[in-house]
Amino acid sequence: MNNPNLVEFSPNPEAPALVIGAAGVDIVGRIKGELHMGTSNPAQIRTSFGGVARNVAENLARLGQPVRLLTVVGEDQAGDQLLANAAGAGVDVQAVRRTRQHPTGSYIGMINASGELQLAMDDMRALAELSPEYLREHADLFQDASLVFFDANLPKETIRTLLSLAQKASLPVCVDPTSLSLAGKIKSLLPRLSMITPNSAEVAFLADLPAPATRRREALLAAKQLVSRGVGMVIVTMAALGVCYATSQTSGHISAIRTEIVDPTGAGDALTAAVLFALLNDIPLDDAIRLGVSAASLTLRHPGAVLPDLSLEKLYDHLVI
């Protein structure tokens, strides 16, 4: 059904995107051979900056979109370096909160020899201080933004405040459910979301399907189910099977680009950022999602969460036709 209260995306490449959520340090190890539990495994280990919101913000900035980041990091060396890195990429970090109560967030991921994520854990306690009051202190940032993106690491009351501020400013809102354990925070808020980017397991959970939507038909069905509940646009990421998408007017599937998987961390965030950038620059939805798939593929090849030389030209060069 059409949702008359939903704010749609409109071209607005000059106004900053407002990105709210997780930022931290990624520690990712790629096992060289067979995984053995309960003992040390030889691996290649790398450290970089991550967090869903931070990744999306950096990708947008590298594509040339003005972007502001709202997050919380510790008053520690990791926080100093993270903010310097983001600012160097073009992200406005002036409103980021610093805390002495918790360390800067961190994520540990374990990848098998095929490039698939086997196990992950994170420490995002600092985000407890990304409070409704913090958002209200920066309500003015909503007034001149082009859109709001957030990840489900946020406290639930903060999400509700975010949606209220976005509604007052007539802004479209996009969310990444982030994980199965966090997706429940947004399940009752679907009619207030202009765009959502779940994976196969998350979309099945949100659509009340009995099992992950691992096939194209299932993913399209789940996406359409969420649209019928009021979401403006649903983009389902399906790893090697590509992307399914649906709105009230159209639906479709874009195949993945065959590529060597070096590190899957951040690929979905790159896809989200590229789609948002495209929509803000009046690129049709089908082409926007193709650019997103291109961004994800390029990021999969890179040992880190964000491709440092990302550009629109590079996305088009790598595009699925």
- Overall average pLDDT of the 142-148 stretch: 98
In single-letter form, the type of residue at position 281 comes to N
- Beta-carbon contacts of 38 under 8 Å, excluding residues fewer than 6 positions away, are none
Q: In this structure, what are the phi and psi dihedrals at residue 313, rounded to the nearest 5 degrees?
A: -60, -40
Residue 307 located in a structural domain: yes
pLDDT for the residue numbered 115: 84
Integer Cα distance of 91 and 246 in angstroms: 30
Hey, how many other C-beta atoms are within 10 angstroms of the C-beta on 112? 17
Residue 103 is part of which domain span?
A: 17-35+42-317
Residue 11 located in a structural domain: no
Integer Cα distance of 275 and 291 in angstroms: 7
Residue 61 located in a structural domain: yes
| Tokens 């930022």 -> residue | 23
pLDDT one-digit tens code per residue, 85-125:
999 999 999 999 999 999 999 999 998 988 888 989 999 99
- Beta-carbon contacts of 161 under 8 Å, excluding residues fewer than 6 positions away, are 132, 135, 136
| pLDDT tops 80 at residue 3 | no
Q: Give how many domains the chain has, as a whole number.
A: 1
Q: What is the CATH number of the domain that holds 125?
A: 3.40.1190.20
- Overall average pLDDT of the 283-312 stretch: 94
- Overall average pLDDT of the 51-63 stretch: 98
Residue 145 located in a structural domain: yes
Residue 139 located in a structural domain: yes
* Cβ(53)–Cβ(69) below 8 Å: yes
- Overall average pLDDT of the 125-135 stretch: 97
Q: Which residues pair with 35 in a beta bridge?
A: none
Residues shown for the chain: 321
CB neighbour class for 17 (10 Å; exposed up to 12, middle 13-18, buried from 19): buried
Integer Cα distance of 256 and 238 in angstroms: 9
One-letter-per-residue 3-state SS of the chain: CCCCCCCCCCCCCCCCEEEECCCEEEEEEEECCCCCCCCCCCEEEEEEEECHHHHHHHHHHHCCCCEEEECEEECCHHHHHHHHHHHHHCCECCCCEEECCCCCEEEEEEECCCCCEEEEEEECHHHHHCCHHHHHHCCHHHHCCCEEEEECCCCHHHHHHHHHHHHHCCCCEEEECCCHHHHHHHHHHHHHCCEECCEHHHHHHHCCCCCCCCCHHHHHHHHHHHHHCCCCEEEEECHHHCEEEEECCCEEEECCCCCCCCCCCCHHHHHHHHHHHHHHCCCCHHHHHHHHHHHHHHHHCCCCCCCCCCCHHHHHHCCCC
Residue 9 located in a structural domain: no
pLDDT one-digit tens code per residue, 166-187:
999 999 999 999 999 999 999 9
pLDDT one-digit tens code per residue, 186-225:
999 999 999 999 999 999 999 999 989 999 999 999 999 9
Residue 134 located in a structural domain: yes
**What tokens appear for 226 in the block?**
């969420």
